[in-house]
Amino acid sequence: MRRGDFKPQCLATAVGSMPQINPQLAVRTLLRHLPEIPVWPQLPHRGFSESMYVQFTERFPGVVLEDERIYVDRNANVDDALAQLYVAYLENNIEYGRVSPEFASGLYALLSAEVPARVAVKGQVIGPISWGLTVTDQDRRPVLYDDVLADALAKHLRLKAAWQESQLARISPDTILFVDEPYMSSFGSAFVSVSREQVVSLLDEVFAGINGLRGVHCCGNTDWSVLLATNADILSFDAYSYAETIALYPAELGAFLGSGGVLAWGIVPNTAEALAHEDAASLQARLEAAMAALERKGISREVLIDQCLITPCCGLQGLKPETATQALALTRELSLRLREAYVKER
């Protein structure tokens, strides 16, 4: 499935992280509420190895995991490891990107589950900007500021995404892989020294390993024109808190949607306080107001509905399991409500 072929019309999916410790339970919960586009659960509460910044680190040159700290030891001889990575990259040896079960138990639980008929299946991988700014070398300098390691990181994550996609294709030939970039909310600040060109180049390197639909997720405010300049097919954003920011880029967004791009509206909140004050009707009104702002910029409601996914605004790992289930149920209810209002009438 390629950009332009996918018109989800307000189907529901999720960002990925869940609060459960039992991966089978998390998978059953997600399958129950997201039957059309299931996603494998990231389960950081199971342990350090399933943190989003750790679970895709296997075989990265010089990486060290100790005392619940992750860093890259540049003092070690990483030349051999770099050579192995580049050989795997040049040969497109996606097996190099394999993720072991202890790093992604939720992925393996989904692969072993009975998954009913579905539209597509979704996975996710950490993005090179966020990983490269969070993980440092032995001197606590972010990996992204080392040109050799930054380039290696994008190629490493490309192989991780390609291997994951090959596994998800066992469930459905139509795959969606999101690259999660929470650190893009700091783009342009005095604390982050990264250029627009570097962001686009590194993300596009990762996207090049994905055959199906490619998504990018940022859960804060950012310069959306940068992410819209990449080869992403889906832009996932926190529409609950930052819906008005996307309307600041009408030309870029119009071109993205005009070429078949999809917006994943993270309109369902992921805090217990906000969830206690919202229901499907209030969230529909909130979403419709955000869409109306884009309509005033020349983007038609029909396009916005056709090229729309409904999701929680970000991961649900910070909630209690029962509250995370409530968020998923609300996501499902809102999706059905929107499809009843806008899709079935056609």
- Asked whether the beta carbons of 149 and 161 are under 8 A apart, the reply is no
Using the predicted structure, report yes or no on whether residue 190 has a pLDDT greater than 70: no
- Asked whether the beta carbons of 311 and 332 are under 8 A apart, the reply is no
**pTM of this structure:** 0.96
Using the predicted structure, report yes or no on whether residue 186 has a pLDDT greater than 90: no
Is 11-342 a CATH 3.20.20.210 domain? yes
Name the DSSP class of 124. E
The rounded distance, in Å, linking the Cα atoms of 32 and 12 is: 12
What's at 49, amino acid-wise? S
Measured between its terminal Cα atoms, the distance across the chain in Å is: 24
Which phi-psi region, left, alpha or beta, contains residue 334 (left: φ > 0; alpha: ψ -120 to 50)? alpha
Give the SS3 label for residue 209: coil
pLDDT of residue 346: 53
Q: Is 250 exposed, middle or buried (0-12, 13-18, 19+ CB in 10 A)?
A: middle
Domain ranges within the chain, ordered by starting residue = 11-342
Which phi-psi region, left, alpha or beta, contains residue 190 (left: φ > 0; alpha: ψ -120 to 50)? alpha
pLDDT of residue 192: 79
- Mean pLDDT of the region 133-152: 95
The rounded distance, in Å, linking the Cα atoms of 79 and 85 is: 10
pLDDT of residue 25: 98
* Whole-number average pLDDT of the chain: 95
pLDDT of residue 64: 96
Name the DSSP class of 69. E
pLDDT of residue 198: 95
143 pLDDT tier (thresholds 50, 70, 90): very high
2 or 44, greater pLDDT: 44
What's at 319, amino acid-wise? L
pLDDT of residue 76: 84
345 pLDDT tier (thresholds 50, 70, 90): low
- Mean pLDDT of the region 189-212: 92
- Report pLDDT digits (tens) over 36-86: 999 999 999 999 999 999 999 999 999 999 989 999 998 888 999 999 999
Q: What percentage of residues in the chain have a pLDDT greater than 70? A: 99
Q: Is 91 exposed, middle or buried (0-12, 13-18, 19+ CB in 10 A)?
A: exposed
- Mean pLDDT of the region 86-110: 97
Q: Is the dihedral of CA 301, 233, 49, 70 positive or negative?
A: negative
Give the SS3 label for residue 293: helix
What's at 214, amino acid-wise? R
